[in-house]
């Protein structure tokens, strides 16, 4: 059996009158006459069989029955208002959860978040430092900015940026232990943010593969390796995206002019159904716009002081026999 509810208009008149403790102010808010408010409240009292208000001079106050009814009515109207607002709110309101490569999140995105927050003050961000491919399918993650080869399947993706890699070191360390040639790297600790492939690529281009026998630490990700370099613990491979601000601030220097393409690229990735979500579209558009502006500003040069000519690959003669 359906529950019997009082009529809506008398409930609105009751709630507004109780909130203002005035029939006149309630009438003004609801854009009706004083008499209409009085009539609706009397109709509600007759429907419920109880008295809801008492006169107190020029104002009214709730009876015990009115005080009991008010919280439920107020909560109901607040819930209706909130649901209506959610249905009609602009695309620039709500929550957004972003999984981002830790180094990119800390060194590139976080310093620029003020721009996003000022444009979209009603969007509440949850930022997850991660490069875990499982985040792409995780229901609590809306969009990812990940480093990889773009081989993720059954999802929407768009390449956000390629990047160049080059050695970076703290000014203090390089002043105490100068780096004048590639050979001088033998006197330094190599800081790895991956399994060693990226340093191998750079050293191969610099004709310094024999230096890979030196001291090294594997620090798990580029963020940790870069932070370790800032603190003078060794030489890390910076990149043209995340290291630019640190170079501009003088926290790191790039001793060599040689850079090599990174093994992978940065991609914006999300589940197919999330791509059409307005709030995700706003974030993706902002992300690409910020990247374009950053490229235009060129926060810091990545060219170092020591010129190195990139090692050329050996020429292969088609059809020639093996030397073996």
What local confidence, expressed as pLDDT, does residue 323 receive?
32
Domains and CATH numbers, the chain: 8-88 (1.10.10.10), 93-163+265-297 (3.40.190.10), 164-261 (3.40.190.10)
Q: Tens place of pLDDT for every residue, the chain, 324 residues?
A: 456 778 888 999 999 999 999 999 999 999 999 899 999 999 999 988 899 999 887 789 999 999 999 999 988 887 777 666 555 445 677 899 999 999 999 989 999 999 999 999 999 999 999 999 999 999 899 999 999 999 998 899 999 999 899 999 999 999 999 998 899 998 899 999 888 888 898 999 988 888 877 788 999 888 899 999 999 999 999 888 888 888 988 999 999 989 999 889 999 999 998 888 899 999 999 999 999 888 776 544 444 555 555 544 332 322 322 232
What local confidence, expressed as pLDDT, does residue 234 receive?
92
What local confidence, expressed as pLDDT, does residue 41 receive?
92
What local confidence, expressed as pLDDT, does residue 298 receive?
55
What local confidence, expressed as pLDDT, does residue 80 receive?
79
Is 245 exposed, middle or buried, given 0-12, 13-18 or 19+ CB atoms closer than 10 A?
middle
What local confidence, expressed as pLDDT, does residue 236 receive?
93
What local confidence, expressed as pLDDT, does residue 50 receive?
92
- Judge if pTM exceeds 0.75: no
Check if the beta carbon of residue 179 is closer than 8 Å to that of residue 169. yes
Comparing C-alpha atoms, which of 66, 68, 30, 29 is closest to residue 51?
66
């Amino acid at each position: 059996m359906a529950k019997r509810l009082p009529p809506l208009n008398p409930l609105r008149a009751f709630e507004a009158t109780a909130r203002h403790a005035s029939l006149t102010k309630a009438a003004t808010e609801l854009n009706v006459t004083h008499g209409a408010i009085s009539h609706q409240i009397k109709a509600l009292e007759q429907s419920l069989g109880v008295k809801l208000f008492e006169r107190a001079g020029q104002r009214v106050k709730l009876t015990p029955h009115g005080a009991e009814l008010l919280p439920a009515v107020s909560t109901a109207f607040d819930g209706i208002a909130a649901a209506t607002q959610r249905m009609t709110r602009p695309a620039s309101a709500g929550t957004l959860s972003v999984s981002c490569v830790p180094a990119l999140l800390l060194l590139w995105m976080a310093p620029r978040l003020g721009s996003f927050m000022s444009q979209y003050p009603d969007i509440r961000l949850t930022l997850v430092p991660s490069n875990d491919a499982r985040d792409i399918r995780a229901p609590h993650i809306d969009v990812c900015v990940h480093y990889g080869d773009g081989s993720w399947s059954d999802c929407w993706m768009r390449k956000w940026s390629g990047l160049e890699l080059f050695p970076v070191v703290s000014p203090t360390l390089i002043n105490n232990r100068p780096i004048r040639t590639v050979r001088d790297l033998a006197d330094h600790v190599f800081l790895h943010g991956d399994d060693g492939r990226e340093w191998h690529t750079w050293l191969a281009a610099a004709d310094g593969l024999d230096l890979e026998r030196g001291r090294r630490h594997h620090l798990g990700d580029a963020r940790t390796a870069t932070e370790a370099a800032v603190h003078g613990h060794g030489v890390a491979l910076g990149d043209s995206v995340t290291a630019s601000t640190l170079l501009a601030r003088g926290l790191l220097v790039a001793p060599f002019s040689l850079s090599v393409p990174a093994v992978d690229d940065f991609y914006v990735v999300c589940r197919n159904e999330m791509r059409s979500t307005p709030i995700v579209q706003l974030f993706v558009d902002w992300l690409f716009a910020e990247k374009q502006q950053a490229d235009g500003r060129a926060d810091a040069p990545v060219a170092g002081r020591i010129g190195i000519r990139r090692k050329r690959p050996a020429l292969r003669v088609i059809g020639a026999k093996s030397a073996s």
